[in-house]
Structure 1
Amino acid sequence: MVVQSKHFLNSPESLVVESLEGLCAVNPHLALDATNKVVYAAFPDRSKVALLCGGGSGHEPSHSGFVGEGILTAAVCGNVFASPSSNQVKRGIDLVDNDKGTVIIVKNYTGDILNFGLAKEHYAASHPEKSDNVKFVIVGDDVAVGKTQGSIVGQRGLAGTCLVYKVAGALAHRGGSLNEVYNVAQWVSSRLGTIGVGLEHCHVPGTGVPDTHLGAQEIEIGLGIHNESGYRRVSPVPPLKELVPSLLEMIISTTDPERSFLPYQGKGKDSVVLLVNNLGGLSELELGAITRAARLSLDEKGISIQRVLSGSFMTSLNMPGFSITLLLLPGSHDHTNISSDLILSLLDDDTNAPGWKWSSKSTPSRTTSQTVEASPTDTTGRTAHLKAPDVGLFNAAVQRACQALITAEPDITRMDSIAGDGDCGLTLKAGASAVLKELANGTVTGDDVVGSAITVARVAEEAMGGTSGALYSIFFSALARNLEISKSPLATLEVYSTALSSSLQTLYTYTRARPPSRTLVDPLAAFVEALPKGAASAVRLAGSAAEHTRDVEAKAGRSAYVEGERLKAEHVPDPGAWGVKVVLEALVA
């Protein structure tokens, strides 16, 4: 795969500070020490414990995006993937200084621990009377790092760190003591497990374009948020229903000698908070499907989900991947004075930190499998069926047309990536696949041409959707009505010609496209108008009209929004028109 190496910036060197200035523009409750790259609460309540965190930039919204009432008091930001210096951290400690105390929370990375730790020690040496007022929490939640490999350095800190911020920050905002805030942060840190997976590594602004890391059908499990290599690679990319359960098993296993970090009990005794985190380059569409897969898998494992959080919490610049975090809540077998209700209520507390994502603040209902019977094709009021002269030939022609569309999908998709929004091929393929299923179960058949048209109209609406789906659905709905009123027992060429001509006029009611318009109307109109003289010649004219869309100025449809010179340079036909050509040529092959 190719790493996305282009970025919007003035310069790589100025990007971090400019981003922090933008963050402060979003939230007037924040202030910035630009020299030291410290974002802090502009109006802190110094009667409460302060929370300080930080690390390399490139993980936004971590860490700066969580500065706000109820989470962090300040965040110290280094350059991309680089720890801030101890001097920067000392400035952060000074900015949040108070009589109640400060808790520093860092991910388990050597640079962060050394520089934040050094700053803490310097602060204690300079303020011996406050040496006990600064506590230090290190979060390591990456289960990809096995016990043998991490015997000295321990687990890396990943997205679970954000849950530590939120719980500890909320308790501090409630007025908790320094020890109370520190203890709850330590406890949450000890109950976290996170595993990440990526389709590709990320690209750091200002660096050279790297060679591709992963193959087109390969993913990497357990890669780090600084492009560190993962635990293993898998090819081909498994479906979510296989991938997500295997990832969760790495977190909850109690039999893996390398990764059994947490005291899961099994047998329906465990309750968790689920965090699904976008590593930076994943679409919201995919993230929703991943969240669903995680919920289903945990339900099947008998693990009770008390809260679900999903979104970008700790990214790795533009990495196309995600991580899953589980926070194991206290159970009856745990000997602790920290209750599940306390943890959940602290997670639910409101905050004005711009990076914290919305959550329902309630326990999700348990997923159940439901099967809904499909409604039969509407045949109300029909007294007779219009049949094809040869049922076998009709069915074979429909099958050919659908298969031809499926085969043509890559070409149509390529055309639409230039002349439109790139989805036409997939839309037509979805419709064709759905019609093939209807053909297999007998809902589309030459025994009932009208009913077949009604079914295709429904399929176009439900399986295709979008503009193409609506146009096809309108046309085939009108075709069904016009075939019905013919009162003929057989669907002859004359019956089709009359019905198609009326259906085209109905379609014109809902679109301004008229040939030549560089839309599917061009070949469709050419076919319908020439059909009375013979199907073969009508198909040839339709094909010519589709080819001619290469040279037609876009007046309607998807291409009307594409810069005209590019269409001329690429010289591609309209994808929708090409789809009509493919269908018609296959029907009369």
Structure 2
Amino acid sequence: MSFSKHFLNKPESLVIESLQGVAALNPDLGLDVPNKVLYNAAHDRSKVALICGGGSGHEPAHAGFVGDGILSAAAAGAVFASPNPAQVRRAIDLVESDKGTVIIVKNYTGDILNFGLAKEQYAAIHPEKSNRVKFVIVSDDVAVGRTQGKIVGRRGLAGTVLVYKIAGALARQGASLEEVYTTAEYITTRLATIGVGLDHCHVPGTATAENQLGATEIEIGLGIHNEPGARRISPVPPLCELIPMLVTNLISTTDPDRSFVPFKGKGDRVVLLVNNLGGTSELELGAIVREAEKVLVARDITVERIIAGTFMTSLNMPGFSLTLLLLPKTSEASIPSAEKLLALLDEPASTYGWKWTSGKVPVVTPIAPQVRAASSGGGEDAKLKAADEKAFVDAIIRASNALIKEEPEITRMDNIAGDGDCGLTLKGGAEAVLADIQSGKISGQNVVKSVIAISKIAEEQMGGTSGAIYSIFFSALAQALSVSSATTLSPEVWSKALTSALQRLYTYTRARPPSRTLVDPLQAFVETLGSSPNNFAAAVKAAGDAAQKTSELEAKAGRSAYVEGDRLRQEKIPDPGAWGVKAILEGLLANA
């Protein structure tokens, strides 16, 4: 039996310690430790109080939204378990308002029973106040159809946060209990959410689940407590295919079993909430936002606001959810206008869980067209041909394919010795080189132009430290070749140009052999070739030996310098960048 790893003291104290951390972020908050209730000690009791809660593990929901402008108090249960009625009653008592209280819960049986029981017990103890506590249930999941959820109904997901925000802002403005309640109720009827995950989450203190998704699977419609989704898809589709599927699930009205919100499609005005389920990077989240907006705009739906970030998680689940709030039309006069709801969303809130929002209609940023730089003459115009044009191109093809083949091994090395991106960076460069060969940008007819093309690929396609080093080296190599008086490439011309390029590279990096970097095999290759220009095989062997020897060296430069040296030596991990140079040179040599 295996257990997942987490940062904690012990599982049973994690919830209360997390609440204490949230309380430390805002001096206006109080914490009832025995009842695990976080509350706004500065709550204005002349205004409606909002209470929520539920199982922990969905942070920042629910405690992260306690503060001026959203929630008055939140009661926290154990991970994925509802708080008990006594906790909820304590929350009501702590922020009891002269105007009354609205309790907002997600549609899960435990939450409804325990919060509902607390409401009834409060009414029994205070019969004169029984009509001053209202109960709102949020069920926004479109993955659960009417047939499947005919008894329990749809699950409550991230759309709940929009109910918190709108109702909380309205309460702060001094609205009546009835107005806050009816507005919250109305919002629940206009929400549609669907989640998608690459895997399930891990609950602290429990064994790792055995029903994890396969390496190529993605699950659509899963819940926030590891509940199974509506379906699994393999392989994982690109966002341009996945997002349209999800949006269709959200807005489709053709399936009466799953049509819960009165979308019309063209002409609808919506708020888009993109929610991180806990384990999705901000880099990916930005791409999801972009794709979701594109899909909605393409369907003639006006996106009035985009709200994105981590709002309601499933611990560390690698996934996200999309929520649409359908705004009312001008003809719906009996409820708050779209402009009123947007203004309530836009109001700042003093809580750590609510993210920054622009308060403006998003503008699609056009992609600037690429402008081809005019040739400045000189290097690219230098007519230095390969002695055997086909052999020249074939060697570059072999080197590129060798890098692509070695990518998994280089990535494995870099996951230990660096940041894990070296293999993919080199593979991306190699694939771009092959594409330039296909398009004729790289050929044996003009060696200088070909080397400049490779330098540009390193600069534009690879990026990072490796890209910069390769780009500088190949730029310097092109400069050295362009000043040669020769018209046909020879081993002597190669050797002299390579020596010049290495010296130029050394003006930009402090790394010198033995340094456990790519300069170790590069210098071994250049120096050996310099002493014997016609013995290319010996130079390649010297580079290979130097790359292998990096497994015994202490890192002095590069990201490996931050890794414990003994670990690298004990595990005999060569430098991934050096291994990439080895792969390139051995590819050039093959069948030569």
**Shorter-normalised TM-score: what interval?**
over 0.9
Q: Secondary structure at the match of 1:13?
A: helix
Deviation string 1:360-402 (CA, Å, 9 cap, x unpaired) is: 1110013556643444665357653211111111111111111
1:402 and 1:432 in contact (8 A); partners too: yes
Q: Which runs of 5+ in 2 are unaligned?
A: none
**Superposed, which structure 2 residues align to 1:27-106 within 5 Å?**
27-106=26-105
8 Å Cα contact 2:429-2:458 kept in structure 1: yes
Equivalences for residues 566-581 of structure 1 within 5 A: 566-581=567-582
Q: Is the 8 A contact 1:299 1:366 kept in 2?
A: no
Q: CA offsets per residue over residues 447-480 of structure 1, 9 Å max, x none?
A: 1111111111111111111111111011111111
The aligned residue for residue 514 of structure 1 is 512
Q: Give runs of aligned pairs for residues 115-514 of structure 1, distance below 5 A.
A: 115-266=114-265, 268-334=266-332, 336-366=334-364, 368=366, 371-375=369-373, 379=377, 384-514=382-512
Distance 2:320 2:379 in 1: 53
Q: For residues 186-229 of structure 1, what are the alpha-carbon distances to aligned partners after superposition, in whole Å with 9 as ceiling and x for unaligned?
A: 11111000001111111211222221421111111111111111
- Separation in 2, partners of 1:191, 1:388: 68
In structure 2, what residue type is equivalent to 1:198? Answer: G
Cα deviation digits, residues 231-268 of structure 1 (max 9, x gap):
111111111111111011111001012211111112x2
Q: 1:55, 1:487 → 2: CA distance?
A: 78
Kept after mapping to 1: 8 A contact 2:40/2:67: yes
Q: Distance in 1 between matches of 2:30 and 2:375?
A: 63
Distance change (3 Å), C-alpha of 1:378 and 1:425: farther
List, as ranges, runs of 4+ consecutive aligned residues in structure 1 with deviation greater than 6 Å. none
Q: Aligned partner of 2:138: which letter?
A: V
Instruction: Report the counterpart of residue 554 of structure 2 in structure 1.
Output: 553
Does the CA-based 8 Å contact 1:218-1:234 persist in structure 2?
A: yes
Amino acid paired to 1:524:
L
Question: What SS does the corresponding residue of 2:261 show, helix, strand or coil?
Answer: coil
**C-alpha contact 1:3 1:203 (8 A) present in aligned 2:** no
**1:286 partner letter:** E
**CA-CA distance at 1:286 after TM superposition:** 1.4
In 2, Cα distance between equivalents of 1:262 and 1:342: 20
Q: 1:129-169 CA deviation, whole Å, 9 max, x = no partner?
A: 21111111100000010010111211110000000000000
Query: 2: CA distance between counterparts of 1:350 and 1:517?
Result: 52
Deviations 1:385-444 (A, max 9, x none): 211111111111111111111111001111111221111101101111111111111111
Aligned-residue offset at 1:515:
1.5
In structure 1, distance between residues paired with 2:278 and 2:558:
33
Deviation at 1:318, TM superposition (A): 1.1
- Residues in 2 aligned to 1:520 and 1:509: alpha-carbon distance in whole angstroms: 15
Secondary structure at the residue paired with 1:9?
A: coil
Task: Measure, in 2, the Cα distance between the counterparts of 1:6 and 1:119.
Answer: 36
Change (3 A) 1:295 1:175: same
1:9 corresponding residue in structure 2: 8
- Counterparts of 1:333 and 1:172, CA distance in 2: 25
SS in 2 for 1:393: helix
Distance in 2, Cα, partners of 1:381 & 1:469: 21
The 3 A distance-change label for structure 1 pair 367 and 149 is farther
Query: For the structure 1 residues 163 and 488, does the alpha-carbon distance in structure 2 shift closer, same or farther, using more than 3 Å as the test?
Result: same
Query: What is the CA–CA distance in structure 2 between the aligned matches of 1:3 and 1:410, rounded to whole Å?
Result: 26
Output the CA distance in 1 between the equivalents of 2:87 and 2:406. 58
Q: In the alignment, residue 535 of structure 1 is paired with which amino acid?
A: F
Give the 3-state SS of the residue equivalent to 2:12 in structure 1: coil
Give distance in 2, aligned partners of 1:4 and 1:345: 46
CA distance in 1, matches of 2:405, 2:82: 52
**Separation in structure 2 between the aligned mates of residue 252 and residue 282 of structure 1, nearest angstrom:** 24
| Contact 1:76/1:88 (<8 A) preserved | yes
CA 1:513–1:130 in 2, change beyond 3 Å: closer, same or farther?
same
Structure 1 portions without partners, runs of 5+: none
Q: Deviations over 1:527-556 (max 9, x none)?
A: 111114121211111111111112222222
Deviation of 1:4 after TM superposition, in Å, equals: 7.8
Aligned mates of 1:273, 1:222 — CA distance in 2: 20
SS for the counterpart of 1:467 is: helix
RMSD: 1.6
For structure 1, which segment, 377-386 or 344-353, has the greater mean C-alpha deviation from structure 2 after superposition? 377-386
Range moving further from structure 2, 182-191 or 159-168? 182-191
Aligned mates of 2:377, 2:65 — CA distance in 1: 59
Partner amino acid for 1:314? M
Q: 1:164 to 1:476 in 2, by over 3 A?
A: same
Change (3 A) 1:310 1:575: same
Structure 1 position 35, deviation (Å): 0.7
SS in 1 for 2:11: coil
Q: CA deviation at 1:333?
A: 5.0
What is the aligned partner in structure 1 of residue 111 from structure 2?
112
- Going from structure 1 to structure 2, the CA distance change for 1:369 and 1:523 (only over 3 Å counts) comes to closer
Determine the C-alpha separation between the residues in 2 that align with 1:74 and 1:134.
14
Give yes or no for contact 2:380–2:452 (8 Å, CA) kept in 1: no
1:3–1:212 Cα contact (<8 Å) kept = no
What residue identity is the alignment partner of 1:138?
Answer: I
Provide Cα deviations, 1:277-309, integer angstroms capped at 9, x if missing partner.
111111111111111111111111111111111
Q: CA deviation at 1:568?
A: 1.4
Distance 1:464 1:237 in 2: 25
Deviations along 1:73-107, one digit per CA (max 9) or x if unpaired, are 11111111111111111111111112111111000
How far apart, CA to CA, are the structure 1 residues paired with 2:460 and 2:14? 45
Q: Bigger shift: 374-383 or 352-361?
A: 374-383
Partners of 2:273 and 2:105 lie apart in 1 by 19
CA distance in 2, matches of 1:576, 1:376: 33
Quickly say closer, same or farther: Cα 1:370–1:383, change in 2 above 3 A.
closer
Q: Counterpart of 1:264 in structure 2: which amino acid? A: F
Give the 3 Å change call, closer, same or farther, for CA 378–321 of structure 1 in structure 2. farther
Question: What code does the residue aligned with 1:432 have?
Answer: A
Q: Which moved more, 1:406-415 or 1:387-396?
A: 387-396
